[in-house]
């Protein structure tokens, strides 16, 4: 059996983008979605927050990275999209060429800002929502 402490230590050293990529690969391999339990948990938290106590505004924790325009260096943008996602060449090209396409969905603020910086460096116009 694997040494779980060692595995936890290795996983803790991953960057946010590497962790997101790991989640995608595990979802594909096991045929599951990690988003469903999070949505159920978030619904439970939202229901608890809506209790008779004074409602508080929740800070947004999940962000979408949306490409508005690929800009003049479309090939660089496509390469960057492929680095940020597990998309193939054709899929990444379609995302780059379709204004309003989501490059990343429901990622942390840090991952969204990192992806935005990389895409803008490649010449794209990007929005984080």
Q: What is the pLDDT of residue 85?
A: 87
> For the residues of 79-93, what is the DSSP string, one character each?
HHHHHHS---HHHHH
Residue 53 predicted with pLDDT over 70: no
Q: Are 34 and 23 in contact (CB under 8 A)?
A: yes
Q: What is the pLDDT of residue 1?
A: 56
CA 65 to chain centre: 8
User: Could you give the domains of the chain?
Assistant: 4-49 (no CATH), 63-128 (3.30.1390.10)
| Least confident segment among 23-27, 68-72, 100-104 | 23-27
Q: Are 103 and 95 in contact (CB under 8 A)?
A: yes
Residue 7 predicted with pLDDT over 50: yes
């Amino acid at each position: 059996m694997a040494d779980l402490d060692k595995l936890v230590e290795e996983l803790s050293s991953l960057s946010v983008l590497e962790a997101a990529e790991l989640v995608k690969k595990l979802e594909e391999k096991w045929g599951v979605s990690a988003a469903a339990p999070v949505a159920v948990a978030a619904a439970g938290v939202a229901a608890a927050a809506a209790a008779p106590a004074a409602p508080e505004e929740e800070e947004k924790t999940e962000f979408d990275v949306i490409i508005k325009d690929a800009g003049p260096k479309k090939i660089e943008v496509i390469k960057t999209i492929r680095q940020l996602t597990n998309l193939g060449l054709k899929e990444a090209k379609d995302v780059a060429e379709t204004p309003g396409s989501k490059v990343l969905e429901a990622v942390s603020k840090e991952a969204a800002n990192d992806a935005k910086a990389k895409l803008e460096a490649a010449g794209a116009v990007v929005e984080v929502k």
